[in-house]
Amino acid sequence: MNRTTAALLTLALAIAFLASLLLPWASLLDLFGEDRELATALLVELRLPRAALALIYGATLGASGAAIQALFANPLASPDLTGTTSGAALGAVVTAYLLGFTAPIALSIGAVAGALGALALLLALAGPRAETATLLLSGLAISALAGALTTLALALAPSPFAFYDAYDWLMGSLVDRSLAQTAFAALPALLTMILLLRLVRPLDRLALGEDVAQSLGHDVGALRLQVVCLTALGVGACVAICGAIGFIGLVAPIFGRRLTGGHPGRAILPAAAIGALLLTAADLVARTAPLGRTLPIGVVTALLGAPFFLWLVAHMRWRLQS
Amino acid sequence: MNPMLEARALSLPDRLHDVSLTLKTGELACLIGPNGSGKTSLLHAIAGIGAPSGEVRIDGIAPRTVGPTERIRLLSFLPATRELRWPLLVRDLILLGGANSDEVAGTIAALELGPVAERRIDRLSTGERSRVLIARALAPRPRLLLLDEPTANLDPLWQIRLMTLLKARLGATGQAALVAIHDLDAAARYGDRIIVMDEGRIVADGDPAAILDGPQVRQVFGIERAGNEWRPVV
């Protein structure tokens, strides 16, 4: 990634963050005229957490997706397609509705444990260098299992309103999160990204094959463990606060690699920036779409991401045939 | 004079059994043996792949005790599989091996990869791809080259060019190479020494002509030399 691209990405991130904070601006401007204190509260208590969560969650999904794709040497590996987000959602639901712990820290621990379990199961089922079909089928099976268990946990929950309560969250939502909740997602997510960035070189070298990476002095087993634990930590912490959001972790690394000449490890940073941009844009669409109510953000990312995924599969098939 | 490579009691479970070996500066040793005899396992064990037991020293330094930056200058391993999943550019892929841009440019020129240097590796022919991966292994000029079937997929001209280039380079730089190879005549022509492996052990080691005419090749491969040809032992 050259300096111009980095500068453009930074500028785009700054504009997206400001747009997320200030749009729609008319109501905010009116409120500033009437009650300055209330307007400031609206900006700081409501819009700031939402804008910050969109940036942080998007960046985490982008960086985690890039790291998982580099690890599995597969452009279709991503937190949602590997079952990581579904596992995290299951962990959070079990913690909140069956075990009764609803504090953000408990939800985070539950979600991280769920994400770790899903990734460990994937590694056991598909192996570390899985073929695309094996990887997708294993991820699908884990997602389906985690989804079914999440529904079961909600059905068995003591609260009769569990399904209704959890629906918005399960579809992914950045609405009405507090600054404290934002911090609970942001701190593990930032830690994840900083530590993932330290793995850029070994993940790039993994592109030469596991044997060559090992011969160059990289401990591939330790690398695998670090990527699995770090992505589980980052994605789990974000899912605990904002629910499961799909496709960003698949799409952002693909664009990220376009900026790094295809280097899978170096793509982590641009993928984080692109993930943050995409989720912020999706949130703006969710908030400003003229449908009379706010859409669940997971629906927006799925509506935009699923056609991209289909294009990707068709593109890969076409390349295999040619 | 101390040997450049000292490998002692190398073992990998079920594949390699207590193998010791030394190589001198500038030496090209060819590793021969039937499929499954342990050639790749020996290269793996020296390269530190798959948690081998035993001791390896290159110029007195144990590779496992140094980080990637120093290790790149000690040894380089070319695997027999030429599979690559990421469509990197040729020059970028060679750079990933740890060589600096001058070394990469020199290796690209030596292996005549200039015309494809800015192309994606997945758009190249199998032979060109092999040359790129060989360039990745050669570019950092490590003290020891561990090459698993480097001439596989290359056309006859490039097989000769590569082995000639390798031999000249070892003579000029004092690097050493351990090369697993199936072509016995090429092993005799280019090797300073031939090492025969069978069932995870070294069964013969010495002068190429003596080894190829000796009893081990007959026993291990079930073939023997008749004039310029090899034929099955009847």
Handedness of CA A24, A30, A32, A35 (dihedral sign): negative
Under CATH, domain A3-321 is a member of which superfamily?
ABC transporter involved in vitamin B12 uptake, BtuC (1.10.3470.10)
How far lies A289's CA from each of A58, A135, A297, A301, in Å? Answer: 20, 35, 11, 14
Query: In this structure, are residues A172 and A242 in contact, taking their beta carbons and an 8 Å threshold?
Result: yes
Rg over CA atoms, chain A: 20
pLDDT tens sequence for chain A (322 residues): 778 888 898 898 889 888 888 877 777 777 777 877 777 777 777 788 989 999 999 999 999 999 989 988 888 888 877 788 889 889 988 998 888 888 888 888 998 899 889 988 888 887 766 666 677 788 888 889 998 999 898 888 777 777 777 777 787 778 778 888 888 889 999 999 999 999 999 999 999 988 899 999 898 888 888 888 888 888 888 888 888 888 889 889 999 998 998 899 999 999 999 999 999 988 888 887 777 677 778 888 888 888 888 887 787 777 666 5
Å from A84 to nearest chain B CA? 23
Residue identified by tokens 């200030």 is A22
Write the residue in B67, B76, B92 that is nearest to A261 by C-beta.
Answer: B92
Å from A264 to nearest chain B CA? 8
Q: Which of A210, A212, A257, A318 to mutate to test the interface with B (most CBs of B within 10 A)?
A: A212
Question: Is residue B71's pLDDT more than 90?
Answer: yes
Measure CA of the first residue to CA of the last residue in chain B; give whole Å. Answer: 45
Residue identified by tokens 């997706």 is A65
Q: Is B20 in a helix, a strand, or coil?
A: strand
Q: How far apart are CA B197 and CA A217, in angstroms?
A: 26
Per residue in B81-103, pLDDT (tens digit) is: 877 778 899 999 999 999 999 99
Comparing C-alpha atoms, which of A235, A236, A243, A245 is closest to residue A108? A236
Under CATH, to which class is B5-76+142-222 assigned? alpha beta
Question: Is residue B132's pLDDT more than 90?
Answer: yes
Beta strands in B59-122 (DSSP E): 75-78
User: Sorting pLDDT into bands at 50, 70 and 90, what band is B1?
Assistant: low
Average pLDDT, chain B: 92
Interface ipTM:
0.91
Q: Give yes or no for A211 touching B (CB within 8 A).
A: yes
Query: In this structure, are residues A155 and A166 in contact, taking their beta carbons and an 8 Å threshold?
Result: no
Å from B179 to nearest chain A CA? 16
In chain B, the residue whose alpha carbon lies closest to the alpha carbon of A130 is: B85
Q: Give yes or no for A128 touching B (CB within 8 A).
A: no
What is residue A29's predicted lDDT score, i.e. its pLDDT? 74
Query: In this structure, are residues B50 and B13 in contact, taking their beta carbons and an 8 Å threshold?
Result: no
Task: Confirm whether pTM is higher than 0.90.
Answer: no
**Between chain A and chain B, how many beta carbons pairs sit less than 8 Å apart?**
68
Q: Give yes or no for B15 touching A (CB within 8 A).
A: no
Per residue in B150-174, pLDDT (tens digit) is: 999 899 999 999 999 999 999 899 8
How large is the average pLDDT for residues B45-53? Answer: 91
What is residue A201's predicted lDDT score, i.e. its pLDDT? 93
DSSP notation for A99-148: S---SHHHHHHHHHHHHHHHHHHHHHHH-TT--HHHHHHHHHHHHHHHHH
Please name every residue paired with B101 in a beta bridge, in sequence order, or none if there are none. Answer: none
What is residue A27's predicted lDDT score, i.e. its pLDDT? 75
What is residue A42's predicted lDDT score, i.e. its pLDDT? 75
What is residue A128's predicted lDDT score, i.e. its pLDDT? 66
Q: How far apart are CA A243 and CA B88, in angstroms?
A: 35
